[in-house]
Amino acid sequence: MSLSNRPIKFMCLSVVIVMLVGACGAPAATPAQPGANAPAEPKLEATTGAAPAAPAAPVVAPVSEPTLVPVPTEAPTAMPVSVGAATYNGLSFNYDVSLAQQITTTTMPAHNPGPDAPYWAITSAYDEFNFVGYPSKNSYHRPRIEVYSVEEFSAVNPAAKEQIDQLKQLLGDAPGAPERIPLIPIFNAAQVFRSQVKYLNFQSGQGVRFVTQYDQAIIPINNKEVFYTFQGLTSDGRYYITAILPVATSALPDTDQMSQEQMQTLGTGEAFAAYLNEVVQMLNGLPSASFTPNLDALDATINSLRVEK
């Protein structure tokens, strides 16, 4: 099946839930998602006009007494000559100027809508770097780096604590092809695949980067929704760093639409799982330069990140 230029149409949520649970290793309950017909991320009032974190994938059972240990990483990616620098509230990093015309910063306030609020809507305060003028075809995810206090976020959101504990365990084990990778901010959707997985060190700790997409329905992997993300922890375990940076490649379609024939072809869990395996193999085989932005430039930004709070 061709992986590009496919017309689209969404499938029913019931079919997707069966598929995503059986084929993708996503949690049993799959809430709404920033793909398909789900709305784009809501915005909150802030001094920079930045939007709050989008919700992230449903969590699974927490690990007990996780221990963060150094993980094997590849050599840091060299930063290109034309670089910018961003500094805010004890946080700093360098970036290729092709990634942003400007970096804006803000501290987003804690957000808890009330006792009946869904777990993905509850956050502690966090610092945010927004990439203005970022080259992206993605309409669901803002390019940004966020830094959370592990203690504060864990105290207000048990689901976030589970994600943090699971990342500690993942970095300790460092599997080459993890079945699922924890992600903050929490999306009310399912992580349908993971590709280009690489463990990275940054100046103050370590983490893992990968390319993924979150959905609530059977939807082609596409440039409108796919993104690069880094999930990391400082070596002292005090701060959680997350980067949500959209990427695109000519190997994927630009839209999320499917023809009636494609809908019928991918309409079973087995068929969609085979399709996802094909996509993952294809994406894993692409060089970093086949993505826009280049994955090496994104890695270099992460390598340079320093937390000195």
Q: Per-residue pLDDT averaged across 154-176, rounded?
A: 97
DSSP 146-175: EEEEHHHHHHH-HHHHHHHHHHHHHHHH--
Q: Is 247 within 8 Å of 239 (Cβ atoms)? A: no
More confidently predicted of 13 and 249: 249
pLDDT-above-70 percentage for the chain: 74
Report whether pLDDT(36) > 50.
no
Which pLDDT score, from 0 to 100, does residue 192 have?
Answer: 95
Residue 175 identity: P
9-18, 167-176, 177-186, 224-233 — which is least confidently predicted? Answer: 9-18
Task: Show Cβ contacts of residue 14 under 8 Å, excluding neighbours closer than 6 positions.
Answer: none
Q: Per-residue pLDDT averaged across 113-140, rounded?
A: 92
Q: Is 64 left (phi over 0), alpha (psi -120 to 50) or beta?
A: beta
Q: Per-residue pLDDT averaged across 259-273, rounded?
A: 79
pLDDT tens for 280-308 read: 999 999 999 999 999 999 999 999 999 99
The pLDDT-based confidence of 33 (bands split at 50, 70, 90) is: very low
Q: Return the biggest CA–CA distance within the chain.
A: 54
Report whether pLDDT(25) > 50.
no
DSSP 117-138: --GGG-B--EEEEEEET-----
Q: Would you call 113 exposed, middle or buried from its count of C-beta atoms within 10 A (0-12, 13-18, 19+)?
A: exposed
Which pLDDT score, from 0 to 100, does residue 130 have?
Answer: 98
Closest to 212 (Cα-Cα) out of 149, 114, 138 = 138
pTM: 0.75
121-135, 201-215, 264-278 — which is least confidently predicted? Answer: 264-278
Which pLDDT score, from 0 to 100, does residue 281 have?
Answer: 98
CA distances from 155 to 44, 46, 150, 151, 162 (A): 22, 23, 8, 6, 11
Our CA dihedral for 111, 114, 116, 117, rounded to 10 degrees, sits at -10
pLDDT tens for 202-257 read: 999 999 999 999 999 888 999 999 999 999 999 999 999 999 999 999 999 998 88
Exposure class string for 222-236: b at 16+ Cβ within 10 A, else e: bbbbbbbbbbbbbbe
Residues in the chain: 309
